[in-house]
Structure 1
Amino acid sequence: MSFLGYDVILAPMAGVTDVALRALCREQGADICFTEMVSAKGLSFANEKTRHLLALAPGEDKVAVQLFGHEPEVMASQAAWIEQEMGESLAYLDINMGCPARKIVSKGDGSALMKTPDLAAAIVGAVKGAVQHPVTVKFRRGWGPDEETAPQFARQMEAAGADGVTVHGRFALQMYHGSADWDCIRRVKEAVQVPVCGNGDVRSGADAVAMRQRTGCDAMMIARGAEGNPWVFSQVKAALAGNPQPAPPTVAERIAMARRHAQLLQQREGRNIVRMRKHAMWYVAGLPGAANARGRLNHCSSLEDFDAVFDELLEEARLHGAYGQPDACAAMGKR
C-alpha cells in the first residue's frame, strides 16, 4: 500500500493546513502533508499572499502542493515555478479537480473541471510536460447525484499522464453532506493502473482499515478528520499496521496540543493569530465548558487570549473530574 511512497496523507485544506497543523500532524505520523491549496492565477500575478502559502515550517523537509485553476498554460507555468522555487522540498504536485466551493467552481476551477474532461486532460498534460516531479489529480465521484463519472474520468487523467489519482467519494453538489461512497473509490481502483488514494470520512483507525478493505486503495488522504485532531494519524498508522491503537488523548493532552498549535502560529505569524480561532474550536469541541468558551474564542487574537480560555477549560475539566480522562469525542471518531 503506497501512493508515490506515502501511505497516510494530510489533505490540502484552504485556511486549515497551515505550517502549525502540518508540523503537529507529521509528529503524529502523517507521511506527507499538503500546503493549503494554491491558485495558479494568484501565483502568476506574483501575489505574495499566495506565495506565502508555500512557505515551509522550520524543520519541514517535504510537502506536497495542490494547484487549482482552469488554464493549461497558466497551470503549467506556475507548476514549473513551484518546482524551481521549492527544489528538493517538493514531494509532488496535485491538480485540484475536486473542490466544490462556489467561489472556485464559478470560475471553472476545482470540481467544475469534471464537467469538461477534455480540458481537465489538457491541464494534466500541460503540467506533466512542464515539471519533473510526479503529477497527481484529486477529484470527486462526479458532479451531481446519479452522475458517477469518476472511473471514466480517472482513465482520462491516467491517459493524459497523471502519476496517481485521489478520489473523494462524494458528488460535487453534495459538498460535505451525507456519507462518502467508498465503493466509488474501489471502482476507480479497478479502472486504472496508477495508484489510487482514497478520501472521505476517515476519522479513526477503524475507518482507515475499513476503507482499505473495501476499496483496495493504495493510500488514504485525511482532511476534516484531522481538524483539531492530529492524533488521528497515529491511530490510523497503528491500525493499518495491525498494532494496538494509542489511547485517545485526555482533556489535558488536547488542551496542551491546542496551546502548541497556537505557539507555533505565533512563532510564524507574530502576535495576531486570529486564524487560530477555528483550530481552537475544533480542539475543544465536546469538552466540558466548550459551549460557553466558543464566544470568548471568537474574540481571541493573541496567544495570551487563547491561553486564558484554555486555562478556564482546564479548570472546568478539573471541576468535572475529567482532567485526565480520555476525550470521548476523539475515542468515538466524532470530530
Structure 2
Amino acid sequence: MVSGMAYVNPAGEFTRDQRYIATRITADGRDGYPVEAGRYRLVVSRACPWANRAIIVRRLLGLEDALSMGIAGPTHDERSWTFDLDPGGRDPVLGIERLRDAFLTRYPDYDKGITVPAIVDVPTGKVVTNDFAQITIDLSLEWTGFHRDGAPQLYPSALREQIDEVNAVVFADVNNGVYRAGFAGTQEAYDKAYNRLFARLDWLSERLAKQRYLAGEQITEADVRLFTTLVRFDAVYHGHFKCNREKLAEMPVLWAYARDLFQTPGFGDTIDFTHIKRHYYEVHRDINPSGVVPSGPDLSGWLTPHDRDSLGGRPFGDGTPPPPLSPAEQVPAEHAAR
C-alpha cells in the first residue's frame, strides 16, 4: 500500500515542481559527462508519461545497445521509485533498491523530487540528470554517434521553431493540464484547468485534421510528447483526473491520430496499461482512497484502423521503422492492448 503522500493542493491550483538536475550528457562532455556507450543507465517507469517519452525516443533512435534501461515498478512511496520488478528488488546494473540512492550518492542533501526519467552514471552510481524535457532532445542531438542506421530526425533544425512552439502550449495545457485538473483543490482551479485543457485539445484537433503529424509530414519530438498524454487519457485522466468532457475515443481526429502513432513501431509497443492504471489509482490515495484499480476501459480500440495515412506523410521521414523489441524489453502481453 502507498500512503501518506498528498497531491491535491487544498489552496487551489496545482503547481508542478520543475527544479530538475540540469547537468547534460553531451558529445563534447562540457558538463563532465561525455556521451559514451555503456556508461549510463536510463531509469524509467512504464507508468510515467514523462519517462515514457524517453523510452519511445531511445527505441526510435536505436540506442538500446548504447544506453541500457532500468525499469522501476509502477508504484512508489514517499521515498522514491523502487526496483521491485527485478530479482531481489535491486536494479541488476546499479545494484540499488531505490532510485533515491543514486540521487543521494551525488547530492547527500538532495531535497527535490526523485523523478523519472533519470540517467545514472554507472561507474559512480550518481544520478546525472532528471531533466526530462532536455533528455530526449539530447538523445536526438548529442547521441548521434550511436543512432541506428535509418534513425529518424525527431528534432530537425528546419522544424525546430515549430516544434518548440507546439511543445510549449501542449506542455502547459495538456501534458501538465491533466494534472492541473486532477490535483486542483478548489472548484475554481479545476474549472480553469478543465476549460484550458479542452480548449487546447480542440485546437489540436483542428491542426491535426489537416496534417498527419504536429509538425507536418513526419513524426517529431512534438508527437512523442503529446502521445504519452493521449495514450493515458481514457485509462486514467478521463475518470481519475475528472477530464471528462469527452473520452479520447469520442474525439474523432485525436483518437485517429493517437491510434496512428500507437500502431507505429516504437510507440504502442512501449505502453503498459496495467502499470499505468496501477500507478495513478494506487499512488494517488488522496484522490482514490480505496486504491481500487478499475478493470476498464476496453483496449481493443487501439488496434482498429485509423485511416490517417490518407493524409500522406512519411512517419520516419527519410529513416526507417525501428526493429522489433528485444524480448527483455517487451511489455507483457497481458498488460498491452490486444
Say yes or no: TM over 0.5: no
Of Structure 1 and Structure 2, which has the larger fraction of its residues in strand? 1
Of Structure 1 and Structure 2, which has the larger fraction of its residues in helix? 1
TM-score by structure 2 length? 0.28
